[in-house]
Chain A
């Protein structure tokens, strides 16, 4: 190798060493996107009402409550950030049950205790055909059922009419289809001090509440005037249960029982502890991936990448022989640089990002192909091997740059506009383009110089 060419070797060696140091050991160093590690990405829109308009303050409180809920649910490294005027992005990486997480985030969790003024009967379960001997009997049962249903609808209309004339009252439904006319709230979730999950003596999950002083007083008063009557426990406008008050409760403790599963009870107690959302939210967008699919995606992506790379390596070996080895080594370095780039830029690897790397494998050897084809032409025109390699690299360089900068423009635009997974694709594609240009232009050249200085250039044969 010529002395004046040594600087290339030094640069390449330094870059490769730096990349190796930053990449190994690779475990845990790459940020995985939600689509690979599993988790939920939720975009919420805060919805103000006339009575409760959106203000800077209510959005701030909304973020605080959401943060509180997520922390209590036990998510590591959540992202909760405001976007624009009324939107909130919640990223919950690694949650085992994204459905439960969505419930936890999207519910207002406004708890109210209201007196029951009037109620309709529950809607009986609809008739099932197998329970009847003949179609006739079934049809009669079905008619009875629809009659009962419409009767309840009529009663509901009456309740709605009443509630319009009396201020502070509302009509709410329960799980069994009963409608209640409820008085104005005695106590709300604001006056809670704590909420815990517990089990009643039949082993059913329930939520136990502890009121603060103010709440305890209000609850005491409410129970004392309602002995023998029902008090409804209303959550976000739906009646959870409406127990009959047996005695006055003055200790400031209460229980909510209902048809909960243990995890539902746990979520409810978290939401009650963290408090109700100050404004209602609507889920605009939700993308959730369970942990198994993420792991599968990584496995499939890795396998496809390895096989793809192997095919390219073989192709280069078969088509370019010894020069192919240089290209294959350069490809390896280029992949190493992609991972080093991902790690040092703290970029997030997503599934489309893996696709970007796979695309890079193919495009990385493009530089080599351009150079080799050029070297061949130069050699065929009668130059010496050294001169051909020199001229080949020089002439191919501008082509390589022009061809890659346009792809870089496209992927920069993609990065700017894309979000989440698509952005991940733009990142790996851009890093891939830069590193494969580096490898084609510098790494391959150094490798060729080393190869050529050691032998009498056996890999170029003139065209017959």
Chain B
């Protein structure tokens, strides 16, 4: 066992390039969020959702044509299998949903309604506010915990790392136009927790090795710590990534976006725990070498 030899990669040599890449990705994500925005699902925007399955394979265009007849051409129709689609109506009126269902039933006999959801505008607004408060509170709690357990600098770089991870995940969702629902907030908070988990393991090692900082210099300190934790970082990312990937592929349409967010978060989180936190700490130390 333990056939993998200890590596000695010079991660810090590329810290500036890595930071630049992250900065670019961040700017891109923020730009996307500002100008393209997010595809808010009915949880936040209000509206009606129906998941239906037809007796035989049906094209999305057929469904769209059918709904256009009753003036619902704004409906978002997404196929998740040959004969299953999720339909979102922009209006939250119950009568509109019933009318849509009626014309679909007439046109496609044997249709089965698997799920329907309605969220009124009041609830949507409330959920948006709650999601914002929840994310802020979680960040605050984590900031406090790391400050107490490590030091303030560590807390700042970890929070920057997790902001990096969640913003890039959000950017990805803006780019692909995938829907943001309530479970997406759960995914973002999980990414926050996971990203930190990774970062903390690295920082923990930095703290342990920090007695050598005078002798090694900050860059070697970071490199040694990163190399020592590298196989753990990669192994844990793999063991977390694999089950979530299986769930994304086989877990059905309801949570597909949720697991996709997790997958993206795990990938970005692994990268950021190697590069972002350590690079930021080094740069900070090089400019202002306090402890």
Contact = CB atoms under 8 A, between A and B. Distances in A.
A209 to B, nearest CB: 27
Nearest to A410: B193
Contact of B186 (A284, A323, A414): A414
A413 B138 contact: yes
A297 B145 contact: no
Contacts of A351: 254-255
Given A283-B118, A461-B1, A352 B186 contact: yes
Given A409-B142, A410-B142, A362 B241 contact: yes
A286 interface: yes
B214 to A, nearest CB: 22
Contacts of B122: 45, 284
A373 B231 contact: yes
Contacts of B5: 463-464
Interface string B1-18: 110011000000000000
A287 interface: yes
A258 interface: no
A119 to B, nearest CB: 24
A362 B259 CA distance: 14
B146 interface: yes
Given A406-B142, A421-B183, A296 B252 contact: yes
Nearest to A41: B117
The 9 residue pairs across chains A and B that have the minimum distance between CB atoms:
A308-B243, A362-B240, A407-B193, A410-B193, A417-B134, A293-B114, A413-B138, A304-B247, A406-B196
A407 B194 contact: yes
Contact of A285 (B1, B119, B200, B240): B119
B247 A308 contact: yes
15 contacts: A45-B122, A285-B123, A290-B114, A300-B251, A323-B1, A363-B236, A369-B232, A406-B145, A410-B142, A410-B190, A410-B192, A410-B193, A411-B189, A413-B141, A463-B5
B44 interface: no
B114 A362 contact: no
B235 interface: yes
Given A286-B117, A410-B138, A402 B240 contact: no
Given A287-B117, A421-B183, A361 B197 contact: no
B34 interface: no
A307 interface: yes
A5 to B, nearest CB: 23
Interface residues of B, number: 69
A302 B191 CA distance: 23
Interface of A: 35, 43, 45, 98-99, 102, 106, 282-290, 292-293, 296-297, 300-301, 303-305, 307-309, 311-312, 315-316, 319-323, 351-352, 354-355, 358-359, 361-363, 365-366, 369-370, 373, 376-377, 380, 398-399, 402-414, 416-418, 421-422, 425-426, 429, 459-461, 463-464
A369 B243 contact: no
B286 interface: no
Interface string B247-271: 1011110110011001000000000
A366 B115 contact: no
Contacts of A399: 200-201, 204-205
B275 to A, nearest CB: 18
A141 B8 CA distance: 86
A359 B244 contact: yes
Given A297-B254, A352-B258, A406-B145, A305 B186 contact: no
A376 to B, nearest CB: 5
B228 interface: yes
A290 B115 contact: yes
Nearest to A406: B196
B236 A304 contact: no
Contacts of B190: 359, 407, 410-411, 425, 429
Contacts of B117: 286-288
B243 A286 contact: no
B185 interface: yes
A308 B252 CA distance: 15
Given A358-B246, A363-B236, A414-B186, 18 more contacts: A282-B120, A284-B120, A285-B123, A304-B251, A308-B246, A316-B239, A322-B1, A352-B255, A354-B251, A355-B255, A359-B190, A373-B235, A399-B204, A412-B141, A418-B185, A421-B183, A425-B183, A426-B186
